[in-house]
Amino acid sequence: MKAFFPMPATPLDSAALAQILTEARTRNGWTDTPVPEALLRQLYDLTKFGPTSANMSPARFVFVTSEEGKARLLPLMSEGNREKTRQAPVAVIVAHEVEFRPFMKKLFPHADAASWFPTEEGRREAAFRNGTLQAGYLILAARALGLDCGPMSGFDMAGVKKEFFDGTTVEPNFIINLGYGNDENLYPRSPRLDFEEAASII
């Protein structure tokens, strides 16, 4: 039988790379253009395909879109993040499920992956690492779908845990505003480290 060697994927063009990374900006101001539920579902359906350890997929996303939801979240935001979160059509609470093992039989059926994480400390580390990784996928997927993002870490972590995840083993990580941004309070792009400052080839 002749061996099959898949062809390399075609690189994205410069316009796509600009939209996702090189020209994308962290937004602080937002238009009032709504983000429909169907688009949020499409966003998750893209995000879920990003790889995680043993496909554990510990990230949990709460898409806060309603006035009632915002009324619960806004008092828990830091003062500098409150108004931008009020303006944004969607605020995504990014969290992770520490007790992800019950889902492993579905997510990784070809091995007993649940047994690979016997300690709570190990599960917390794995859930935090992989949940954060999935949040990165969410940002890239959102930009690919034409949305703007404003990730933030300024909020009352314990308060969000109690308000949105009380009585569960889900832990909040950070919050991402989503929508269609404007240039309000848009800072000049900050420098990035050069290759030689941040990377090496050995």
Q: How confident is the model over 133-159, as pLDDT tens digits?
A: 999 999 999 999 999 999 999 999 999
Q: Cα–Cα distance between 60 and 62 in angstroms, integer? A: 7
3-state SS class at 105 = helix
Q: Is the pLDDT of residue 183 over 60?
A: yes
Least confident piece of the model among 56-60, 68-72, 98-102, 187-191: 187-191
Q: What are residue 15's phi and psi, to 5 degrees?
A: -65, -40
pLDDT at 94: 98
What global pTM score does this model have?
0.94
Helices 37-47 and 120-144 pack at an angle, to 10 degrees, of: 120
Alpha helices in 110-199 (DSSP H): 120-144, 157-165, 195-198
Per-residue pLDDT of 97-130, as tens digits, reads: 999 999 999 999 999 999 999 999 999 999 999 9
Question: What does the CA dihedral 76, 77, 78, 84 come to, rounded to 10 degrees?
Answer: -160
Per-residue pLDDT of 28-67, as tens digits, reads: 999 999 999 999 999 999 999 999 999 999 999 999 999 9
Per-residue pLDDT of 5-35, as tens digits, reads: 677 889 999 999 999 999 999 999 999 999 9
Alpha helices in 3-66 (DSSP H): 14-17, 37-47
Q: Is the pLDDT of residue 88 over 90?
A: yes
Cβ atoms of 35 and 179 within 8 Å: the answer is yes
Q: CATH assignment of 35-183, given 3.40.109.10, 3.40.630.20, 3.40.640.10, 3.30.560.10?
A: 3.40.109.10
